[in-house]
A and B are shown apart, each in its own frame.
Chain A
Amino acid sequence: MKSDRRHFLKAAGVATIGVAAGATAAEANLLDSAKELLLGPKGAAPYPEAKKNARWAMVVDTRKLTAESMEKMIHACNHAHNIPLHPLRKKGDKYNKDEIKWIWEEEFENAFPGQMNEHLPPKVTQNEVLVLCNQCENPACVRVCPTKATFQRDDGIVIMDFHRCIGCRFCMAACPYGSRSFNFKDPRIASLEINPEFPTRMKGVVEKCNFCAEQLDKGLQPHCVEACENGELVFGDMNDPESEIRKVLRNNYTIRRKPEVGTQPQVYYIV
């Protein structure tokens, strides 16, 4: 019964999008060229239309990732979101306790614990992969937050209100992917060139990848996706059967991080 209803709702949603997309296609094309003029051509094309009923997701094609390309994407995110670079707390620390990261590189076995078969192709196990917040469909971080500072938008994006967060860090304990960072110290003191388009944070609050909601609202692709040169990342609307991401998912076998914990990650990996 329940799943029937869900399917029906989904189908209804898709139908609505279809109609809306048709009606606004002309305007969208105009908008498109205007954007191209203003912003210049980018690695990835902006969206033809700013979608209302979208369900955003990402595919990471790990076969295409290289050290340089990953660095570019990480840099794009760090720069766009004013991510501070804190030094080690004290010399000789094994890792950076104050570190803030939204997207970063991990070994295959760390990104996918429990999926490390013996004798896997070296190109799978020896290359690092990119990890970020999975924008879970059933997010544990939202469930535990006592103030709704972390919440889920209608388009599925799990996002934060930095001004409401009390810094209890319950969400960090709850996230099964270690996707969240806490501002142990004032992020504004770390030397960085501030991007005035994105808010800086204050100490004592949590933060994480927001799927570049600020870009999507402008009809643009996320920064890390824009920084791709070979289609390493594919971003799109899961509710649109014709979207590129749906095509990629149809044509490739993908895996997700820790599917067994029931969070329904919306970041898919081609290995």
Chain B
Amino acid sequence: MLEKALTGDSKYWGWIGFLLLLIAVGFGAYLRQFNEGLTLTGLSRDVSWGFYIAQLTYLVGVAASGVMLVMPYYLHDHKAFGKITILGEFMAVGAITMCLLFVLVDLGQPMRMMNMIIFPTPNSVLFWDMVVLNTYMFLNIIIGWTVLQNERKGIHYQKWVKVLIYLSIPFAVSIHTVTAFLYAGLPGRHFWLTAIMAPRFLAGAFCAGPAILLLIVFFLRRFTSFDAGDKAIKSLAVIITYAMILNVFFLLLELFTAFYSQVPGHMHALIYLFAGLHGGHALVPVMWASVILAVIVLILLIPPKFRNNYNLLIPALIMLVLSTWLEKGVALVVAGFIPNPLEHVNEYAPTLNELVISVGVYAVGALIVTVLYKIAIGVKAEVGDAAH
């Protein structure tokens, strides 16, 4: 099926070329970092994780989009999702690849990466994160590819594929849970030390991932022969709405616990985020932008009249992606380090080199998703399943 990715019009090749260019530039920036060390980033002794790890966190969420289609389709026989589950599975492949790359570019000694496997350490959450991320990625590659191949041959998927599909559901939940445990199990980091970290991750994931997927669906509908169908779009929008409500609700719970209890440690990071602390204000605009966008998104998504109007749904989805990204892909990780354990406020901002590397990683993900989608849509067009 790979040959499907090798034929395309000039727009397709232009896009591929553009992504390859971004990857090359990002790789160049990475070589600099590889030679000189992470001093080229904005990270410091106090804020020791930043943009890279925050992207990992966000993209683990994006990888979830698959399961929000797989579950209704395979468990509840929601036929409308039949055509787009493959998109979710392939997006998960791209997202997890990016996650793993973001871990890699964050390592101080990337050449020793294999030490995690040579000296497996089950008491480390990072070890488990690596295990579940890799397993989830392989599950999605195998499932997506076999189902597509069978579709092409016109046969129903085999039993073992079904087993893998069922297996992928708990694994999708586990990648978020385990990633949340990276943060939620650390003593002395009050901002992260919360039992609802995992539910927050799941809620964020189940709205942001499907929102990105839905935006892609709209894009494909407009520019290719692939149409997911109104029914699928509308059901997915409902799922996104519920997840976003939960996401906002969970944030309010954090605010209540911190400010009603008045425990200083629990309030500090939140004060830093919303109002600034000891002269540090860098994330205040980020946090408020996220909150304001979230409110607008809810207003646009909850009433069915608005939600079913694609002219409102599309901007709402874009704002949702932005809002959740600002919160999980920027603020959540950085604010855990501010103030530091000695209550000093030392801030963080990514450097240009760091951002260029990150863009390069995103370009790798986009390339993988593009190629896989090209194949999927090609196959669907061949068997006449593209238009509805």
Contact = CB atoms under 8 A, between A and B. Distances in A.
Chain B, interface size: which category? 35 or more
A186 interface: yes
B48 A204 contact: no
A261 interface: yes
Interface stretch (A17-25, A53-61, A171-179, A211-219): A171-179
Nearest to B346: A95
Interface string B158-178: 000000000000000000000
B119 interface: yes
Given A89-B39, A146-B121, A165-B108, A170 B341 contact: no
Interface string A147-184: 11100000000000000111111101111111001111
B379 to A, nearest CB: 39
Interface string A184-214: 1110000000000000001111100000000
Contacts of A94: 346
Interface residues of A, number: 53
A106 interface: yes
A165 to B, nearest CB: 7
A94 B119 CA distance: 39
A204 B106 CA distance: 10
A174 B187 contact: yes
A178 B342 contact: yes
B115 A164 contact: yes
B342 A166 contact: no
Contacts of B123: 143-144
Contacts of B246: none
A89 B106 CA distance: 19
B49 A144 contact: no
B126 A173 contact: no
B73 interface: no
Interface string B335-356: 0110011111010000000000
Nearest to B280: A94
Contacts of B285: none
A167 B341 contact: no
Contacts of A97: 39, 42-45
B189 A95 contact: no
Contacts of A147: 112, 115-116, 119, 121
A144 to B, nearest CB: 5
Contacts of A173: 48-49, 183, 186, 189, 336-337
Nearest to A131: B342
B337 A170 contact: no
Given A164-B115, A177-B341, A144 B124 contact: yes
A110 interface: yes
A149 B39 CA distance: 22
Interface string B119-132: 10101111100100
Nearest to B41: A184
Interface string B210-243: 0000000000000000000000000000000000
The binding surface of chain A is classed by DSSP as: loop
A80 B226 CA distance: 67
Contacts, number: 150
Nearest to B348: A97
B125 A144 contact: yes
A111 interface: yes
A185 B37 contact: yes
Contacts of B42: 97
B108 A167 contact: yes
B342 A172 contact: no
A95 B279 CA distance: 14
A113 B342 contact: yes
B284 interface: no
Contact of B116 (A101, A166, A203, A205): A166
B37 A184 contact: yes
A167 B107 contact: yes
A106 B44 contact: no
B340 to A, nearest CB: 5
A146 B126 contact: yes
A202 to B, nearest CB: 8
A240 interface: no
B124 A143 contact: yes
Contacts of A172: 45, 48
A168 B107 contact: yes
A263 B48 contact: no
Nearest to B34: A204
Interface of A: 89, 94-101, 106, 109-111, 113-114, 131, 140, 143-149, 164-170, 172-178, 181-186, 202-206, 258, 261-263
Given A168-B107, A170-B124, A174-B186, 17 more contacts: A95-B44, A97-B43, A97-B44, A99-B45, A109-B343, A114-B265, A144-B185, A147-B116, A167-B112, A169-B49, A173-B48, A173-B183, A175-B188, A177-B342, A184-B38, A184-B44, A202-B109
Pairs A-B, 5 closest by C-beta atoms: A167-B108, A176-B188, A204-B108, A97-B44, A261-B187
5 contacts: A89-B39, A95-B346, A166-B108, A185-B39, A262-B187
